[in-house]
Amino acid sequence: MRYRLLLWAALAAFLIDQISKYLVVHVLRVAEGNIDILPPLLVFKYGENRGINFGLFQGNSEAARWMLIGISLAISVGVLVWLMRTAPTKLMLVCGGLLIGGALGNVVDRVLYGFVLDFLNMSCCGINNPFVFNLADVFIFAGAIGLVVFDGKKPS
């Protein structure tokens, strides 16, 4: 199957995201207090994201929650259909899988909890970053950037 690489990348991104959230939130109990990993560069800090990535466009209504679930699913299907209609490179398939797996990881959070569980906070160089994110967000951004960079088109 030509798209096996996409499916494996999506599954890996999804599982890594969900397992990391479970471990940090339920085992390490980050909700009870921040956990300094490499302060201030990396701190585990509990967050409930009702908006999009990095806490942007917060919406506390059920309508906003289900709208964000629908948008995430539509983007995932759109990326899958686009990749199936093109001649994707192996890197494109991996990047598409990362994006889809990350998006589905955040969808599962919204369905189960009503929000996305976030726990990563990074600050540096005297700048105190108030935002938290998760590995699904990293996979979504890395996948999207990778799809642009490795789009398989030759420059004109």
Phi (first) and psi of residue 45, to 5 degrees = -140, 120
Please list the alpha-helical segments (H only) found in 2-134.
4-22, 62-85, 90-113
CA distance 154 to 156: 6
> Is there a contact between 50 and 115 (Cβ–Cβ < 8 Å)?
yes
CA distance 108 to 103: 9
- Residues tagged active-site: 118, 137
> Is there a contact between 34 and 120 (Cβ–Cβ < 8 Å)?
no
Bridge partners (DSSP) of residue 121 are 43
Q: How crowded is residue 7: how many other Cβ atoms within 10 Å of its Cβ? A: 15
